[in-house]
Amino acid sequence: MLRSATTASLPRRPLPLTGNANTTYRPYKSFLEFDKPLRSGEQFTLQHQSAASVKGGQFSFSLSDDGKQLVLTNKGGFIAENTDIYEFAGSTAASRSNYDIGNIRLLYEVQTDNANTRPSVRIHYNGWEANVGDVIALHDKDRLLASKTLTAKDIGNDNASVILTPDLSLYQGERQIFSTYTETSGNSSRSNMIDIKIQQYGYMHSVSNATIESTQSMGAIRYADRDISYTNDALHPSHALVGAFWAPGHYESGPDLKVYAGRGDPLDEYLITVRMGGKLLGFDKVNCQSAHYHTIETAANILAPGTYDDLSVTATSITPGASNGQADSISGLTQSVFWAPQSLSGVAGGKGNDFIPIGRTKDGLSTMIQTGSGADSLILGSFGKKGDFSATVTDFTLGVDTVKVFGYPGSVDGEPAPRHYLHDINESNFNEFVKEVAPIQGGAGTKLVVDLDGAAAGNQTYTLHLQNVAYQPANTHTLFGV
């Protein structure tokens, strides 16, 4: 695993200058996980999100001539504009050589003499029938142990395979391990059970003391002043991210996850790793001498906006002694994170009360939005972008779900506005925002056109097709909760 930050660009707010050319901007970070050892000199791509662009470079590792040093070579940088990390297909270009990286942290595994309670399992599949985005997972009864989302290099041969190693140490006794294969369409299949006997091991209690204790603690993801909504629901935590206050819709870092690690020996050290959507979101080393709650920082835009059911946090003991290498984990948790990407291709809400920002879309009215259950709010805005602002909502519930309009930093009636706010649409200004209401699908649905600036000088509108809201002009106020 490789974590780095680049000095490719500066944020859009004043920062003190240090005069040090090697200074990096802390929020910029990226995490890269290698699923197999690299050959000496083998090239790989490392990138991070910088506002509306993906910036990065080509690198390689090699050994020095005397074999005593690991050499990292920068082969040149690149930029992919108007792109998010989760959609970035990779680059072999190296057209810009002035992008550097700093604060590099390497995480690697070594063999110990301690009892192994994390067996690696090789899973075979037909690579010709596999697709990018399919997920292979390893389970112990109802516990998710590990998962991998297939990439382009994992498909295209008859006898493809992946090796999955559990993030957590398995409990002692007879374990029943099986694998699942889930297609992007949602179809899933599972393998036969594999019986594994785990011998008793010691010191596991010290690792358990390092993990978070409940799903409520999992709701400790915070966005500081970058968020407009946070639903503190232990079963369905949901977050809405709108970007930095000086640049709405631009994201330079991901959510911070607060993990409880305490009650152990003050000298105990743990490696905390966070995964969701089959991807590594972040890792860090913590110890019990510092505060019990540790903040694990993640990178921006690694995952598409939506709801995930595989959030996991793993604590691995790296304290010398018999517990070294033992791990415990909380996994299979649900987490909803919504934000306005560079170009939205669709999104589905969770079971909670979600705030879902909707900005520029990739396919216009062919872009499908599912609110899911709960009382949800669709937040319409341009988020600093230009393009097609239209989408289709498939399951809007009149009187439960609402439409809201995102406001920009600035001033309101001469007074400083909050860094982020939603326009207060009421009876007095309703007609300034609602520009058109019309029937679609023979009246079975409703077309709604909203002026994003209200009475202000801007003329940017957003068009929504509400498929299952029967056209009734008298109900228009209800769409906005007025």
Judged by DSSP in three states, 79 sits in strand
Q: What per-residue confidence (pLDDT) applies to 347?
A: 92
Task: Judge whether residue 442 has pLDDT over 80.
Answer: yes
Asked if 344 and 446 sit in the same domain, the reply is: yes
**Complete DSSP assignment for 182-226:** E-TTS-EEE---EEEEEPP-S-HHHHHTTS--SHHHHTT-B-GGG
Among 47, 81, 106, the domain boundary falls at 106
What pLDDT score does 286 carry?
79
What local confidence, expressed as pLDDT, does residue 409 receive?
53
Element containing residue 338 per DSSP (H, E): strand 327-339
Strand spans (E) along 206-321:
227-231, 238-241, 243-244, 247-248, 256-260, 269-276, 279-287, 293-297, 306-317
Asked if 401 and 475 sit in the same domain, the reply is yes
Domain-terminating residue out of 106, 132, 150: 106
**pLDDT value of position 223:** 34
211-215, 256-260, 313-317: least confident range: 211-215
Which pLDDT tens digit goes with each residue over 41-92?
898 888 888 888 888 888 899 988 888 888 988 888 888 888 899 888 777 6
Kindly report, residue by residue over 332-354, the tens digit of the pLDDT.
778 888 889 999 999 998 888 88
Q: Are 350 and 317 members of one domain? A: no
pLDDT(206) > 70: no
Tell which residue, 264, 316, 248, 255, has the closest CA to residue 282: 255
Pick the range with the lowest mean pLDDT from 229-243, 281-295, 312-326, 348-362. 229-243
Amino acid at 420: H
Cβ atoms within 10 Å of 108's Cβ, excluding its own: 8
What letter does residue 382 receive in the DSSP assignment? -
To the nearest 10°, the Cα dihedral for 97, 101, 102, 107? -140
> Which of these, 358, 362, 348, lies nearest to 83 by C-alpha position?
362
Please indicate, yes or no, if residue 17 is contained in any of the structural domains: yes
| Domain co-membership, 225 together with 172 | no
Structurally, how many domains does the chain consist of? Answer: 4
Residues 188 and 214 in one domain: no
As a whole number of angstroms, the distance between CA 197 and CA 177 comes to 10
pLDDT band at 2 (very low <50, low <70, confident <90, very high): very low
- Domain membership flag for residue 115: no
* Residue 192 shares a structural domain with residue 317: no
DSSP code, position 197:
E
**What is the span of the domain harbouring residue 163?**
121-200
The predicted model gives 369-379 an average pLDDT of 91
Q: Is residue 30 over pLDDT 80?
A: yes
Instruction: Evaluate whether 86 touches 303 at the Cβ level (below 8 Å).
Output: yes
Count CA within 13 A, CB hemisphere, residue 446.
22
In percent, the amount of the chain with pLDDT more than 90 equals 18
Do 366 and 392 contact (CB within 8 A), yes or no? yes
**Cα 146 from Cα 235, distance rounded (Å):** 21
Label residue 367 by pLDDT band (50, 70, 90). Answer: very high
Looking from the CA of 86 toward its CB, the CA atoms found within 13 Å total 25
3 state SS of 352:
coil
Cβ atoms within 10 A of the Cβ of 187, count?
A: 9
Do 74 and 135 lie in one domain? The reply is no
pLDDT of residue 27: 72
Instruction: Check whether residue 250 and residue 225 sit in a common domain.
Output: yes
Nearest to 244 by CA among 230, 227, 231: 227
CA 452 – CA 358 distance, rounded (Å): 12
